[in-house]
Amino acid sequence: MAMEVRIRKDLGAFQLDIAFESDSRRIGILGGSGCGKSLTLKSIAGIEQPDRGRIVVNGKSLLDTEAKICLKPQVRKVGYLFQNYALFPTMTVEQNIEAGLTGKKADRKERVARMIEHFQLQGLEKRLPGELSGGQQQRVALARILAYEPEVILLDEPFSALDVYLRDKLQRELMELLKEYPGIVIMVSHNRDEVYRMSEELLVLENGRIVRQGPTKSVFENPENTAVARLTGCKNIVLVEEQPDGTLYAEEWRLSLPVKAQGACAVAIRAHEFSIRKTAQNEKLCFPIWKPVVTEDLFEYNISFQTAPDVTGRIDWKVSKYNWVYGRDAIPDCLYLKESDLLLLKEAEGIRE
């Protein structure tokens, strides 16, 4: 499997400029609202027409504006799972699955029967979408997509409108249903946990452009710039300067960081990486705690603190209640951090936003 996407679209106040190649079967696209995630998917599906560009799947050109190639959506072999599943409300389950299939009636019915069995929809064939649960609707929508054997499936924030319990349940079901699918799956989301679970390669979008691409775990472990650090959930991001000895200084925290600068202009720390215990691995990076503010969630404490009495910058620390050894209002004097958990960032655009 191989995919190449190079597209541009000018919408006046917003310009989409996407370029990537990938051999991965499971691709995640992470970004905030209005960054171009859904527009990218719709361009791949043929629902939107880029001003110029090229889209190739397994050597087949779906779009090539220079060569004047633009395949219609129905012949691209691309399935699109919308947020609301887009089932036809007056059609039964089997009619929804059959919709869009071509060929002899007997062949269509046989394919629908295979999808009914594969997605465990037996007994629901005659029901309308309004008579189904959310999970059943999702299975019908996927069955309809897979019935015509697409080479690519596009998932457009399929869990965004669901409560936490149902979202986690349907994520597990979807991952299981797609386990044996041999084609490419691209899922867009603004939720870092979703893309972490469901993708092996990650594209991070901001303002219509890819600001980071790589294996999903590598992107989280090394975001490289402030935009990616923020989108992958870093709470603590601050500008730094290189000191004469080659280490770093964070003015906003008024704190020296005894690590090699390596060209970093900012650093990031995930809020759960701090430790209250000093070890040989973390003793170099110590963060004094001043003026802590504690808020309590269901399963964890969130502590915001300064590193000196008169600094403006604050640091966020999250700690599980299970690991909390102090009283509710008893806070340690300092926290420790392993050097490997201090994320060095080479670009700092938008850090003050």
**256/266 Cα distance (integer angstroms):** 13
pLDDT of residue 277: 85
Closest C-alpha to 56, from 48, 65, 187: 65
pLDDT of residue 119: 86
List where CATH 3.40.50.300 sits in the chain.
3-222
Mean pLDDT of 12-23: 96
pLDDT in tens, 149-173: 899 999 998 877 677 777 788 788 8
> Which range, of 48-52, 218-222, 287-291, 324-328, averages the lowest pLDDT?
324-328
Count of C-beta atoms within a 10 Å radius of residue 16: 22
| Ordered alpha helix ranges (H), the chain | 37-45, 93-98, 105-118, 134-147, 164-177, 192-198, 216-221, 226-231
- pTM, to two decimals: 0.89
Higher pLDDT, 353 or 63: 63
How sure is the predictor about 1, in pLDDT bands with cuts at 50, 70 and 90? low
Mean pLDDT of 85-94: 94
Note whether 187 and 199 are within 8 A (CB). yes
User: Where on the phi/psi map is residue 46: left (φ > 0), alpha (ψ -120 to 50), or beta?
Assistant: left
Average pLDDT score over the chain: 92
pLDDT at residue 146 is higher than 80: yes
CB burial readout 263-302, b (16+ within 10 A) else e: ebbbbbbbbebbbbeeeeebeebebbbeeeeeeeeeebbe
pLDDT of residue 353: 45
pLDDT of residue 177: 79
**158/129 Cα distance (integer angstroms):** 16
pLDDT at residue 129 is higher than 50: yes
Mean pLDDT of 282-306: 92
Angle, in degrees to the nearest 10, between helices 134-147 and 105-118: 140
**231/308 Cα distance (integer angstroms):** 28
pLDDT in tens, 304-350: 999 999 998 999 999 998 877 666 567 889 999 999 999 999 987 65
**180/311 Cα distance (integer angstroms):** 54
pLDDT in tens, 205-257: 999 999 999 999 999 999 999 999 999 999 999 999 999 999 999 999 999 99
Contacts of 131 (CB under 8 A, 6+ apart): none
pLDDT of residue 36: 96
pLDDT of residue 228: 96
**145/148 Cα distance (integer angstroms):** 6
Q: Which CATH architecture has domain 3-222?
A: 3-Layer(aba) Sandwich (3.40)
